[in-house]
């Protein structure tokens, strides 16, 4: 098997992530090509698309959401993702076992919980109108007074196919968004059968070359090796001898291809989609990015690797982007970061009077 260097793996992944050069494609196509984007908070996918698409504007994604071509819903790993309507309907059944298995996390809080009964009650409640999860829990508590209200809400979130109801606020959804039944909102039915083979192919197209363990980390689905073995995939090894799988036509650009600086939002899937993350971040930098309270900080890349953190804030009309590098930065890279960062800042704070890009420390 051919050996792929660390840089070759990095460049292959960046190419599929639309991070070697911005893509000139519509928003819905981009979200589909990325097989969704982590959306713990509504702003994150907007930032991710700004870094990946040529001329991306906030209204582009707003329109796709309003036209119901893109939805925000609980999906991969039981977390919120922005996905195309087509992919949600196609893969929700495939990922149902992951979501249902999440109920084990309730432990003693799940005492007395009867999921099938809760699901039927929740469907009936949500069929009337979109509701926040506080409202869902309150309504379910009346029917199941002996069950922990958080358990009732979590069961609903994991087992009832729901999408977030957009309201036209900035970034499309408020912090405490309402939820509505997915099939009603999309006017379509969930695919009746699991299609893990399709999901593996889609994963490799956007995160490969990769291992079955990488796929499991991204999707939450266990026992992926037999699925990989049943597909016609190319095989490579990395420099440690580990076998990597890939789709036959997956882009694998020249390892020496330049990688421009890029800004990634919190929780970007590029940092969450592999069991081992050395293709994008060095081990010594992970503690600064992955926090103990399970957040993943906003980062920027230099030569294809995470090289620092960024934050943005606006005060008295002044918008400031603060860079926190992990190592000293050359003048050339600093200039690139300031130029790219200034563009990001104008995207995030279009109404600011002045803009500043500063380096911490």
**Three-class DSSP labels, 228-283:** HHCCCCEEEECCCCCEEEECCCCCCCCCCCCCCCEEECCCCHHHCCCCCCCCCCCH
Question: How do residues 168-213 score in pLDDT, each as one tens digit?
Answer: 899 999 989 999 999 999 999 999 999 999 999 999 999 999 999 9
- Please count the CA atoms within 13 angstroms of the CA of 40 that sit on its side-chain side: 12
CB contact at 8 A, 323 and 344: no
Question: How do residues 112-157 score in pLDDT, each as one tens digit?
Answer: 999 999 999 999 999 999 999 999 999 999 999 999 999 999 999 9
The whole-number pLDDT of residue 103 equals 93
The whole-number pLDDT of residue 168 equals 87
The whole-number pLDDT of residue 59 equals 97
CB contact at 8 A, 184 and 165: no
Q: For residue 275, give both structure tokens.
A: 């069991």
The whole-number pLDDT of residue 333 equals 97
> In Å, what is the CA distance from 70 to each residue of 64, 118, 132, 174, 177?
6, 28, 20, 17, 16
- Within the chain, strands assigned E span 37-38, 70-74, 80-84, 162-165, 178-181, 234-237, 243-246, 262-264, 299-302, 305-315, 318-325, 354-359
- Given a cut of 70, the residues of the chain with pLDDT beneath it are none
Q: List 117's β-bridge partners, or say none.
A: none
List of long-range contacts for 304-311, beta carbons under 8 Å, 24+ apart: 304/7, 304/10, 304/11, 304/14, 304/19, 304/259, 304/280, 305/10, 305/280, 305/281, 306/264, 306/271, 306/280, 306/281, 306/282, 310/263, 310/341
* Helix pair angle (133-143, 149-159), 10° resolution: 110
Give the predicted TM-score (pTM) of the model. 0.96
State whether residue 312 is helix, strand or coil.
strand
| Residue positions counted in the chain | 361
């Amino acid at each position: 098997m051919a050996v792929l260097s660390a840089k070759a793996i990095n460049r292959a992944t960046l190419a599929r992530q639309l991070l070697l050069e911005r893509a000139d494609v519509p928003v819905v196509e981009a979200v589909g090509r990325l097989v969704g984007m982590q959306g713990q908070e509504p702003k994150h996918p907007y930032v991710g698309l700004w870094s990946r698409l040529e001329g991306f504007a906030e209204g582009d994604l707003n329109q796709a959401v309003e036209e119901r071509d893109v939805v925000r819903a609980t999906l991969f790993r039981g977390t919120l993702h922005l996905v195309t309507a087509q992919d949600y309907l196609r893969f929700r059944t495939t990922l149902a076992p992951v979501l249902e298995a999440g109920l084990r996390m309730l432990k003693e809080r799940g005492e007395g919980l009867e999921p099938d009964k809760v699901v039927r009650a929740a469907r009936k409640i949500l069929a009337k109108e979109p509701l926040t999860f506080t409202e869902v829990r309150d309504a379910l508590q009346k029917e199941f007074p002996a069950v922990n209200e958080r358990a009732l809400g979590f069961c609903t979130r994991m087992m009832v196919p729901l999408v977030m109801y957009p309201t036209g606020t900035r970034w499309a959804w408020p912090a405490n968004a309402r939820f509505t039944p997915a099939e009603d909102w999309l006017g379509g039915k969930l695919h009746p059968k699991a299609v893990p083979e399709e999901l593996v192919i889609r994963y490799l197209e956007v995160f490969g070359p990769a291992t079955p363990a990488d796929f499991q980390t991204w999707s939450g689905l266990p026992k992926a090796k037999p699925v990989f073995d049943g597909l016609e995939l190319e095989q490579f090894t990395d420099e440690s001898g580990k076998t990597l799988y890939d789709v036959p036509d997956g882009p694998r650009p020249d390892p020496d291809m330049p990688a421009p600086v890029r800004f990634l939002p919190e929780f970007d899937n590029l940092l969450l989609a592999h069991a081992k993350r050395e293709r994008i971040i060095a081990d010594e930098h992970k503690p600064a990015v992955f926090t103990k309270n399970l957040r993943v900080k906003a980062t920027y890349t230099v030569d294809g690797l995470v090289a620092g953190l960024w934050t943005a804030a606006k005060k008295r009309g002044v918008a400031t982007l603060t860079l926190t590098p992990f190592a000293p930065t050359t003048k050339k890279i600093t200039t690139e970061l300031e130029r790219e960062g200034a563009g990001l800042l104008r995207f995030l704070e279009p109404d600011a009077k002045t803009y500043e890009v500063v380096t911490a420390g």
